[in-house]
């Protein structure tokens, strides 16, 4: 996960900060899922079908001509209001089914999001006649004070609507939270949230009759693997996807490259490493033999050359490498050499 996070930050350095942050949650009532059920089965009974579907975090970086720069641009991508039933009744049905938070607050103090009498997600929001751009954070979206509507046993207004994109909702018929994240300065937080790692659970181990009970050592943080995640791993599907290939480049001092080995095979691993070139040493050789590489920096070399792991040499690409990015590892300022 840490390597994937660093790969994502390499894309940020190349293309800039992301513009949209999407949280996509599966709708277990999709017809494709229900049609695959047998007998009295429910979607949760078929992890092989709903694998990978429950949740996805997506960060999108828009083309320079499509960047979100004004409040009108925000309104084109994101809405935080209930649709008009007269103009788009289908969208109204989807929004009231998937994009209403809680309800919580004074109308439902027992909602799971309530902490000490307050919603941990800061709902209900305040009414706003127009969108306010935030210098360092998500915009404060337009939420006009319109007449509330009845959803189930609760009366709902725009203060409880989760921001969404109308086209995506009608396309996928599911919960899709869309946030404009371009103003967010702490862009690292967004990617760390996406690559936060696997679910974990704390397990308490206690021996009956033990006198010297150590509470700290009694808790073990273990990885929790649900049935859908287990099925995803068994099918060898990727846990994450990036639009560009990120090539991880080596940086090391002479004869100090990292070596991976198994216990008891240290000597053989060192011998093999002495004969193999790294991406860095091979780049030195490339510049010695190929004048066309002289004007290409080390971090940009993967865009024009491909590293052949079998021969440990850089070879010129026959086709364009526009979707390839090189990434240098972080080097401490204390390593002055």
Q: What is the DSSP string of 99-138?
A: SB----GGG-TT-TTEETTEETT-PSPPPBSS-B--TTS-
Q: Do 172 and 63 fall within a single domain?
A: yes
Instruction: Tell me the pairing of strands 154-156 and 313-316.
Output: unpaired
Round to whole Å and give the CA distance between 256 and 253.
5
What is the model's pLDDT at position 212?
57
Residues 302 and 163 occupy one common structural domain: no
64 and 101 fall within a common domain: yes
Q: Tell me which of 97 and 215 has the higher pLDDT.
A: 97
Q: Does residue 280 sit within a domain?
A: yes
Strands of 55-60's sheet, edge to edge? 55-60, 20-25, 175-180
**51, 205, 306 from 26: Cα distances, Å:** 10, 35, 38
pTM, full prediction: 0.70
**Contact indicator for 140, 148 with CB cutoff of 8 Å:** no
Question: Does residue 122 fall inside a structural domain?
Answer: yes
Instruction: Determine, yes or no, domain membership for 332.
Output: no
Q: What is the pLDDT of residue 307?
A: 92
Instruction: Note the pLDDT tens digit of each residue in 35-51.
Output: 989 889 988 888 777 76
pLDDT, one tens digit per residue, over 42-78 is 888 887 777 656 678 888 888 888 888 889 999 999 9
Is pLDDT at 9 greater than 90 in this prediction?
Answer: no
Closest CA to 256 of 237, 270, 266, 242: 270
Q: Is residue 75 assigned to a domain? A: yes
* Together in a domain, 133 and 259: no
Q: What is the mean pLDDT of residues 155-164?
A: 94
Are 32 and 121 found together in one domain?
yes
Residues 32 and 138 reside in one and the same domain: yes
Query: Who has greater pLDDT, 131 or 235?
Result: 131
Residue 176 placed within a domain? yes
H/E element, 188: helix 187-194
pLDDT of 241 above 70: yes
Domain that holds residue 225: 200-235
Same domain membership, residue 131 and residue 208: no
| DSSP per-residue string spanning 305-332 | EEEETTTTEEEE-SS--TTEEEEPPP--
Structure tokens at 206: 């206690």
Residue 48 and residue 165 in one domain: yes
- Beta strands of the chain (E only): which ranges? 20-25, 55-60, 114-115, 118-119, 149-151, 154-156, 175-180, 200-204, 219-223, 245-248, 305-308, 313-316, 324-327
Mean pLDDT of the chain: 84
Read off φ and ψ for residue 111, nearest 5 degrees: -65, 145
Dig out the tokens for 91 from the structure. 């969208």
Q: What angle do CA 322, 327, 329 make, to 5 degrees?
A: 180
- Confidence band (pLDDT; 50, 70, 90) for 298? very high
In a domain, 7, yes or no: no
Asked if pLDDT for residue 145 goes beyond 90, the answer is yes
The DSSP bridge partners found for residue 176 are 24
Token output for 307: 């590293």
Mean pLDDT across the stretch 175-183?
88
Convert the pLDDT of each residue in 89-106 to its tens digit.
Answer: 999 999 999 999 988 888
Please report the pLDDT score of residue 219 as a whole number: 55
In a domain, 194, yes or no: no
Query: Could you tell me the pLDDT band of residue 173, with boundaries at 50, 70 and 90?
Result: very high
Count of domains forming the chain: 3
- Is 87 within a domain? yes
Residues 212 and 157 in one domain: no
Contacts of 12 (CB under 8 A, 6+ apart): 18, 187, 191
What pLDDT sits at residue 203?
A: 64
3-class state of residue 48 by DSSP: helix
Question: What is the DSSP code (8-state) at residue 164?
Answer: B
């Amino acid at each position: 996960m840490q390597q994937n996070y660093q790969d994502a930050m390499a894309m940020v350095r190349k293309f800039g900060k992301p513009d949209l942050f999407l949280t996509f949650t599966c709708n277990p009532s999709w017809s494709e899922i229900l049609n695959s059920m047998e007998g009295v089965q429910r979607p949760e009974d078929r992890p092989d079908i709903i694998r990978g579907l429950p949740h996805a975090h997506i960060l999108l970086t828009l083309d320079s001509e499509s960047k979100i720069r004004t409040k009108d641009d925000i309104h084109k991508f994101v809405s935080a209001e209930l649709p008009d039933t007269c103009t788009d009744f289908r969208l109204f049905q989807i929004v009231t089914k998937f994009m209403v938070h809680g309800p919580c607050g004074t109308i439902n103090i027992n909602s799971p999001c309530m902490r000490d009498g307050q919603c941990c997600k800061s709902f209900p929001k305040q009414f706003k006649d127009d969108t306010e751009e935030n210098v360092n954070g998500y915009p404060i979206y337009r939420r006009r004070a319109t007449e509330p509507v009845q959803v189930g046993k609760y009366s709902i207004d725009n203060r409880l609507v989760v921001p969404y994109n109308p086209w995506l909702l009608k396309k996928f018929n599911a919960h899709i939270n869309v946030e404009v994240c371009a103003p967010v300065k702490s862009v690292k937080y967004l990617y760390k949230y996406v690559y936060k790692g696997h679910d974990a659970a704390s397990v308490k181990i206690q021996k009956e009759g033990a006198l010297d009970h150590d509470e700290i050592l009694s808790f073990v943080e273990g990885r929790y693997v649900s049935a859908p995640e287990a099925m995803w791993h068994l099918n060898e599907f990727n846990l994450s996807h990036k639009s560009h290939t990120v090539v991880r480049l080596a940086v090391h001092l002479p004869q100090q490259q990292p070596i991976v080995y198994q216990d008891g095979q240290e000597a053989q691993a060192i011998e093999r490493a002495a004969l193999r070139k790294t991406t860095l040493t091979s780049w030195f050789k490339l510049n010695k033999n190929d004048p066309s590489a002289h004007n290409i920096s080390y971090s940009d070399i993967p865009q024009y050359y491909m590293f052949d792991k079998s021969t440990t040499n850089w070879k010129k690409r026959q086709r364009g490498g526009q979707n390839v990015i090189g990434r240098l590892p972080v080097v401490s300022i204390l390593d002055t050499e």
